[in-house]
Amino acid sequence: MPETKTRFSYREAVRDAMSQAMRRDPDVFVMGQDIAEHGGSQKVTLGMLEEFGPDRVRNAPISEMALTGAGIGAAMLGMRPIVEIMYEDFLTLAMEQLVNHAAKERYMSGGQLKVPLTVRTQGGAGWSSAAQHGQQTEGWFVGVPGLKVVYPSTPRDARGLLWSSIYDDNCVVFFEHVQLYNQREELPEELEPIPLGKARIARAGEDVTVVATGPLVPEALAAAEQAEQDGISVEVVDPRTLQPLDEEAILESVRKTSRCVVAHEAVRRMGFGAEVAALVQEKAFDWLDAPVERVGACFSPLPFAPSLERACIPRREQVYAAIKRTVGSE
């Protein structure tokens, strides 16, 4: 019989991964601000309270530090909590717990303690959320030993990677971009786990590699379609997990194309793209025919005005211009 498939939105795929894990495993539960009756700020947990009850879908007070600390304690005692931080900007309020406790307890205990905590958070530009509700912070956490950082760009990846995050014995910070929630994809009814640390070739190409994250993956694919009209063959690599990073997938692609563009929505200065550019320069320099191009947001707090926001954040036009520069067509 043919495999049954259902059309999931990104939002529904995240909800499905959590729900399937909770049906299977009584140690999995969710807590966060307004996640129960209200269903969360982006309605990702909508309906879960009715299925699992208030003991497993827990509203939390407005204290990200306390919420994350409670998740760490529950994880160290053998549960697999999923903590939702309403906006990723508010991760700043949980930094102490994440960076100095969740990331380090397993190492400092010689492996005697595990911290299987998944911290889900959402944010990003594109809806005039301004400087305190729309910034991209994933790069801050990639440099913290002991944390894993996941940033899926499709419903399939969101579902499969969240499942793997829940069942990882380390703390995982799981980023979801608000502009991706309504993206839809046909998925099999049976959930397919995706291992952390394995990149995806979103589009094969020969002339230039674009390494893109989060919302810049669909933008890079659109830029690649545009570049194809100019006779430029673009390969798009989606790392999916920023830590651990699938270095070999990136390097293999660059060795094939001899050119590289890195694109993310976070600010360009000290961003994740700088790490990828350094990786390519250190380990694939002899294959490069042009300098690595970086695409990112301007070094500014995110503006509130829609016109200024559009001017600040990168989209397909900036990726396309970088592709043209690196192949010497501009």
pLDDT digits (tens, 9 = 90+) for 199-235: 999 999 999 999 999 999 999 999 999 999 999 999 9
Mind listing the pLDDT tens digit for each residue in 37-96?
A: 999 999 999 999 999 999 999 999 999 999 999 999 999 999 999 999 999 999 999 999
pLDDT at 269 over 90: yes
Query: According to the CATH classification, is domain 5-188 in 3.40.50.970?
Result: yes
| Angle of the 155-166 helix axis to the 10-24 helix axis, nearest 10 | 30
| Angle of the 272-283 helix axis to the 247-257 helix axis, nearest 10 | 60
**Domain residue ranges in the chain:** 5-188, 200-326
Percent of the chain with pLDDT over 90: 94
Integer Cα distance of 172 and 268 in angstroms: 24
Q: Residue 253: its pLDDT value, please?
A: 98
Give which of 268, 94, 289, 279 is closest to 173, Cα–Cα.
Answer: 94
Query: According to the CATH classification, is domain 200-326 in 3.40.50.920?
Result: yes
Catalogue the active-site residues: 64, 133
Percent of the chain with pLDDT over 70: 98
Higher pLDDT, 120 or 329: 120
Integer Cα distance of 8 and 186 in angstroms: 6
Mean per-residue pLDDT, 89-117: 96
pLDDT class of 1 with cuts at 50, 70, 90:
very low
Q: Residue 329: its pLDDT value, please?
A: 55
Mean per-residue pLDDT, 97-120: 97
